[in-house]
Amino acid sequence: MSDFTIILGNKNYSSWSLRPWLVLRKTGVAFTEEVIPLYAPESKSRLLAHGPSGKVPVLKHGDVTIWDSLAICEYLAEIFPDAGLWPENSRDRAFARAICAEMHSGFMALRDDMAMDMRASHPEHIPGPGVDADITRITEIWNQCRAENANQGPFLFGDFTIADAMFAPVASRFRTYGTKLDKISADYTDAVLHWPPLVEWYEEALAEPFTITAYNNPED
């Protein structure tokens, strides 16, 4: 059995679960995963059995338990220093941390209005108040990173890093809701959605039997 266990929510809906799962895949380490279907009668007690916040994701490694997506990514970067989880130079690393924090604590209008739902397709969706401003800021970040790293690879800092994992659910939302994007953002979205571990997660999300009918969780 692997030393690492990650507790996840439904792959179709749980954007916070997706992020550190992608980062774990980037490390190459073997890990065990457990999916807890969210918003079912027994969900909360099952979640609380794993972590004090009663939310997913939770990573367990020996006697270490981490119950926040970004904290998990930071922990993995610390214990896998050669996995390239953050950009190599300190200027890019600081920038990457800032945009990850911006994603982790912001873009509430987009998160509320365009919930991650990988099985769904709503190209007719009309964004609610504040969503356009979130999309403008996100695509500004993406354009700036891509302009600086265009020759290094297809991701924000060239190779896939924690920053790409943090924005991967946004790429999925843009696909679901048919968001019109500038060419650089559209190409970047494509690169993220074709990254093999994300393709694999998508396949598992599509095959998942659980559905949350009244899905409306602004924290997702």
Ligand X SMILES: N[C@@H](CCC(=O)N[C@@H](CS)C(=O)NCC(=O)O)C(=O)O
Could you identify the residue written with the tokens 């690393």? 93
Residue whose CB is less far from ligand X, 69 or 185: 69
Which secondary structure element, helix H or strand E, spans residue 66, and what is its range? strand 64-66
Q: Which backbone phi and psi does 198 adopt, to 5 degrees?
A: -70, -35
- Give residue number: closest CB to ligand X: 55
Q: Are 55 and 67 in contact (CB under 8 A)?
A: yes
Nearer to ligand X, 181 or 198 (CB): 198
Q: Output the smallest distance, CB 133 to ligand X, in A.
A: 22
* Rounded least distance, CB 58 to ligand X, Å: 8
CB closer to ligand X, 38 vs 109: 38
Amino acid at 35: V
Give the pairing type, strands 4-8 and 58-61: antiparallel
Sequence-separated (6 or more) residues with CB below 8 Å from residue 153: 159, 160
Residue 210 C-beta: closest distance to ligand X, Å: 13
CA 187-103-69 angle, to 5 degrees, is 110
**Residue placing its CB nearer to ligand X in the complex, 101 or 199:** 101
What is the smallest separation between the CB atom of 147 and ligand X, expressed in angstroms? 28
Instruction: Give the shortest CB-219-to-ligand X separation in angstroms.
Output: 4
Give kind and range of the element (H or E) at residue 132: helix 131-149
Residue 177's alpha-carbon distances to 81, 100, 138, in angstroms, are: 36, 22, 15
Residues that bind ligand X (CB under 6 A): 9, 14-17, 38, 44, 54-57, 68-70, 219-220
**Between 163 and 191, CB nearer to ligand X:** 163
